[in-house]
Amino acid sequence: MSHFFFQNFRFLILCWIALGLITFIYLIYSKKKAPYGRHIKKNRGILINNSLGWFIMEFPALIIMPVLSLQNDNNPFVLLIAFFWFLHYFNRSIIFPMRINTKKKKIPIFIVLSAFTFNIVNGLFNGYHIYLNVPETNLFEFNIVIGALVFFIGMLINITSDNKLISLRKEKMGYKIPQGKMFKYVSCPNYLGEIIEWLGFFMIAPSLASLSFFLWTSFNLIPRAINHHKWYNRKFKNYPKNRKAIIPFFL
């Protein structure tokens, strides 16, 4: 099994990207929404606590990629890449679930299991790529410095936007129109920030594996942002007309 995995590593990642593209096309054309958060529907099978669900979904990512990649030891570049990854997933799997004000809400177990599986596959591809293929590299290479900047700008947009949404829920249950910062331009700046982060990661450590992660994030979050945007416009008559879904002035 592991022999097959390593021999067909590139081919498997290409299949993984193709699956992401098919998912994207399906989500766009079917207008189907991943049924969690505001898009949750009745009869979605077994439900579990929302915060616990987030922890289960994201925890494999926190562990798998750093553990695999750090076997490529004595390589400061690998340490840097694993650190960036760990930073993101420490927030997403530990801090974010403790902070969201949706503790009484539930999430369908099938959403949790599909994201859990995604994080295992994605962690394996990225971790093994770094373990097997990344040589010692000067940390001040142009692409690394710019990529790190892009990564942190994305992280800043993602976290400040998530913070804004979390604080809205503190004021009252239900949904409000978010205002200020990047919400002036788009309905889902948290998703935009997440996509920018993984673009930065791809720039720091370009590979088919990091490309697949950037693409999958876009394939997943662009349709969801479009659905959120339509939902806001249906729910709030006074929703800002010039606000876009995810890409300022464009989409």
Point out which residues bind ligand NDP (CB under 6 A). Answer: 37-38, 100, 102, 105, 158, 162, 165-166, 168-169, 175-176, 178, 190-191, 194, 217, 220-221
Complex with ligand NDP: residue 72 or 158, whichever CB lies closer? 158
* Residue 146 Cβ vs ligand NDP, minimum distance, rounded to whole Å: 21
Complex with ligand NDP: residue 10 or 176, whichever CB lies closer? 176
Complex with ligand NDP: residue 77 or 96, whichever CB lies closer? 96
* Residue 198 Cβ vs ligand NDP, minimum distance, rounded to whole Å: 7
Residues, the chain, total? 251
* Residue 58 Cβ vs ligand NDP, minimum distance, rounded to whole Å: 8
In the bound state, the residue with its beta carbon closest to ligand NDP is 37
Residue 137, both tokens: 């590299």
Complex with ligand NDP: residue 147 or 154, whichever CB lies closer? 154
* 8 Å CB contact between 186 and 136: no
* Residue 42 Cβ vs ligand NDP, minimum distance, rounded to whole Å: 16
Residue 194, both tokens: 């997440």
* Residue 119 Cβ vs ligand NDP, minimum distance, rounded to whole Å: 9
Give start and end residues of each alpha helix (H) in the chain: 2-7, 9-30, 50-69, 76-90, 96-99, 109-133, 142-171, 189-204, 208-235
Complex with ligand NDP: residue 86 or 175, whichever CB lies closer? 175
* Residue 167 Cβ vs ligand NDP, minimum distance, rounded to whole Å: 9
Residue 119, both tokens: 């994080």
> What letter represents residue 153's amino acid?
I
* 8 Å CB contact between 130 and 81: yes
- CA atoms in the 13 A half-sphere facing the CB of 3: 0
Complex with ligand NDP: residue 114 or 133, whichever CB lies closer? 114
Neighbouring C-beta atoms of residue 73, cutoff 10 Å: 9
Angle, alpha carbons 95-200-142 (nearest 5°): 135
Torsion angle defined by CA atoms of residues 124, 129, 131 and 136, in that order, rounded to the nearest 10 degrees: -150
